[in-house]
C-alpha cells in the first residue's frame, strides 16, 4: 500500500549498452545488491565506481601482527578496506580508531562498517587530519599499531565533482575536504608564474613546468581563469604543442597526471601534514608499537624514509624497513592503482 503513494523513481539512463559515466554505474554503486557485477569489474582489473580496493593488505597484516585486545589507528580510513581487515584481527576485543579528512566519503564508510557489525564499541571514526595523531593518542592511549595509506581513494578520483582527474569534466577543486581551504582553481587564480613553476617541479618533478606555468599565467592575464579539469588539460595540451606529434599524446597525459598531483599536494598541504605526522608518530606509539606507511610518489616516500632513518639512528625506533616493500605482480595485475605503491615500516623502541 505504502508504495502506491511514492512516485516511481526511474534510474538514470545511459546511451549504448554499458554505462560509461560515474553517475550511471548504478550497479557498481550498490555492491551489496549487485555483487556479481562488482566482482566482474574487479576481475577485469578495474575498480568499481564508488569503491576502493585496498593495497598490500597481506603485507600490512603480516607486519602489524595485530592481536585481540590491542588498540590501533587507521590514519586514512578511505573506503575502510584496511580498517575492516584490522578489525577482523582484533576479533571484537580492543579498539580501532580511524581518521579521514573527507566529509563526503567518511559517513558512507562509517555506515558500511556499522552494517558489517563494527560500531562505536570497537571502532571510533573521526573526521580529523592525521597530523592530530597526538590528540587522538591522548584520548585513546598509546597505539599498538598505526597504518597510513597516503593520498586519495578511488572514490575521490572517480567522482567528477571532486576534480581529481583530468580525464573527467568537473570543477578544478582537488581538496580532500572541500569545506576547508581553497580549491585548486582559486589557487591558480592568484599564483605567480615563478611560484607555479616551483610547485610543479617540487611536488611532481614536472619537466615542462616552465612552459605549463607560462601558459596558465597567460590565460589568467586574459581573464580566462581556469575553473574546470578539462580547461586545465587543454592549457597543458596547448603548452606542449612543441613536442613532436608522435610523442605528444603520451607526454600530455603524463604532464596532466603530474600537474594534477602537484596541485593536489599543494592545496591539501600534503608534504607539511605528512612531515608533522611523522614527527608526532613515535610519541603516539607504545614501546614495540608498529607503524606501516603506504606512499604513492617519490616526494612522499622520501619524507617517510628520511624520518624513519633519522629516528632509528636516534634510537627512537628499534627497527625500520631497510628496503621498500612493493605489492606483488599478481596484485598489480588485478589493481593497476597498486603499481606505484611503496610500503615502509618502523617499530618503536
Ligand X SMILES: C[S@@+](CC[C@H](N)C(=O)[O-])C[C@H]1O[C@@H](n2cnc3c(N)ncnc32)[C@H](O)[C@@H]1O
C-beta of 234: minimal distance to ligand X in Å? 28
Task: Rule CB under 6 A: say whether 337 interacts with ligand X.
Answer: no
Q: Under a CB-based contact definition with an 8 Å cutoff, are residues 94 and 118 in contact? A: no
172: Cα within 13 Å, side-chain hemisphere: 24
DSSP calls for 133-193: HHHHHHHH-SEEEEEEE-S--HHHHH-GGG---TTS--BS---SSTTSS--HHHHHHT--H
Bridging pattern class, strands 71-74 and 143-149: parallel
Q: Which is nearer to ligand X, 183 or 255 (CB)?
A: 183
Q: Which residue among 79, 97, 143, 164 contacts ligand X (CB under 6 A)? A: 79
Starting at the edge strand found earlier in the chain, the sheet holding 95-100 runs: 123-127, 95-100, 71-74, 143-149, 285-295, 342-348, 317-320
Binding of ligand X at residue 82 (CB under 6 A)?
Answer: yes
Q: Is 149 labelled a binding residue? A: yes
Residues 2-31 that bind ligand X (CB under 6 A): none
Interface with ligand X, residue 110, by CB under 6 A: no
Binder among 81, 163, 170, 289 for ligand X (CB under 6 A): 81
> Quick one: which of 252, 347, 266, 251 has its CA closest to 299?
266
**Residue 81 counted as an annotated binding residue:** yes
Instruction: Pick the piece of the chain touching ligand X (CB under 6 A) from 97-105, 157-165, 214-222, 317-325.
Output: 97-105
Residue 293 CA to residue 149 CA, distance in Å, equals: 6
- The answer to the question of whether 78 is labelled as a binding residue is no
**By CB under 6 A, is residue 289 in contact with ligand X?**
no
Does residue 70 interact with ligand X by CB under 6 A? no
Scan residues 251-270 and list those touching ligand X (CB under 6 A): none
**Total residues binding ligand X (CB under 6 A):** 21
- Residue 246 C-beta: closest distance to ligand X, Å: 35
Binding ligand X by CB under 6 A: which of 273, 278, 304, 321?
273
CA separation for the pair 270, 65 (Å, rounded): 28
**Are 47 and 153 spatial neighbours (Cβ–Cβ below 8 Å)?**
no
Residue from the set 47, 70, 76, 259 that interacts with ligand X by CB under 6 A: 76
Residue recorded with cell 634510537: 315
> Which SS3 state, helix, strand or coil, does residue 324 take?
coil
Which residue, judged by CB position, is nearest to ligand X in the bound state? 78
C-alpha distances in Å from residue 43, one per residue of 28, 37, 40, 154, 335: 13, 10, 5, 16, 9
Q: Which is nearer to ligand X, 100 or 206 (CB)?
A: 100
The answer to whether 82 is a known ligand-binding residue is yes
Among residues 77 and 232, whose Cβ is nearest to ligand X?
77
| Residue 99 lies near ligand X (rule: CB under 6 A) | yes
Instruction: Name which of 59 and 105 has its Cβ closer to ligand X.
Output: 105
- 94 carries a ligand binding annotation: no
- Residue 130 sits in the site that holds ligand X (CB under 6 A): yes
Helix, strand, coil abundance in the chain, percent, nearest 5: 50, 15, 40
Contact 341, 294 (CB under 8 A): yes
CA distance 133 to 154: 24
**Chain residues 147-206 in contact with ligand X, contact rule CB under 6 A:** 149, 151-153, 176
Specify binding-site residues: 80-82, 100, 130, 149, 156
The residue ranges that bind ligand X (CB under 6 A) are 52, 54, 76, 78-82, 99-102, 105, 129-130, 149, 151-153, 176, 273
Query: Binding site for S-adenosyl-L-methionine: which residues?
Result: 80-82, 100, 130, 149, 156
Amino acid at each position: 500500500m505504502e508504495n502506491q503513494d511514492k512516485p516511481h523513481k526511474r534510474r538514470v539512463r545511459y546511451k549504448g549498452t554499458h554505462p560509461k559515466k560515474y553517475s550511471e554505474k548504478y550497479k557498481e554503486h550498490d555492491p551489496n545488491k549487485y555483487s556479481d557485477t562488482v566482482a566482474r569489474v574487479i576481475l577485469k582489473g578495474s575498480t568499481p565506481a564508488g569503491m576502493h580496493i585496498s593495497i598490500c593488505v597481506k603485507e600490512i597484516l603480516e607486519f602489524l601482527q595485530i592481536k585481540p585486545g590491542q588498540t590501533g589507528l587507521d590514519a586514512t580510513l578511505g573506503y575502510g578496506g584496511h580498517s575492516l581487515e584490522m578489525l577482523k584481527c582484533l576479533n571484537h576485543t580492543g579498539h580501532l580508531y580511524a581518521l579521514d579528512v573527507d566529509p563526503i566519503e567518511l559517513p558512507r564508510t562509517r555506515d558500511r562498517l556499522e552494517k558489517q557489525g563494527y560500531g562505536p564499541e570497537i571502532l571510533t571514526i573521526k573526521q580529523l587530519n592525521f597530523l592530530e595523531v597526538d590528540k587522538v593518542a591522548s584520548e585513546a592511549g598509546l597505539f599498538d599499531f598505526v597504518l597510513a595509506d597516503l593520498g586519495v581513494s578511488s572514490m575521490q578520483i572517480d567522482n567528477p565533482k571532486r576534480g581529481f582527474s583530468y580525464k573527467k569534466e568537473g570543477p578544478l577543486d582537488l581538496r580532500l575536504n572541500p569545506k576547508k581551504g581553497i580549491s585548486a582553481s582559486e589557487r591558480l587564480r592568484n599564483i605567480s608564474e615563478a611560484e607555479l613553476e616551483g610547485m610543479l617541479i617540487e611536488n611532481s618533478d614536472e619537466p615542462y613546468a616552465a612552459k605549463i606555468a607560462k601558459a596558465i599565467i597567460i590565460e589568467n592575464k586574459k581573464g580566462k581563469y581556469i575553473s574546470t579539469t578539462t580547461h586545465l588539460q587543454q592549457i597543458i595540451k596547448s603548452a606542449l604543442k612543441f613536442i613532436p606529434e608522435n610523442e605528444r599524446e603520451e607526454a600530455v597525459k603524463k604532464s596532466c597526471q603530474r600537474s594534477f598531483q602537484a596541485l593536489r599536494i599543494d592545496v591539501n598541504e600534503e608534504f607539511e601534514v605528512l612531515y608533522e605526522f611523522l614527527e608526532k608518530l613515535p610519541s603516539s606509539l607504545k614501546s614495540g608499537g608498529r607503524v606501516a606507511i603506504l606512499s604513492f610518489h617519490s616526494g612522499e616516500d622520501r619524507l617517510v624514509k628520511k624520518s624513519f632513518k633519522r629516528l632509528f639512528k636516534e634510537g627512537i625506533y628499534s627497527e625500520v624497513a631497510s628496503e621498500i616493500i612493493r605489492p606483488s605482480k599478481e596484485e598489480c595485475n588485478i589493481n593497476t592503482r597498486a603499481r606505484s605503491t611503496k610500503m615502509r615500516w618502523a617499530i618503536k623502541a
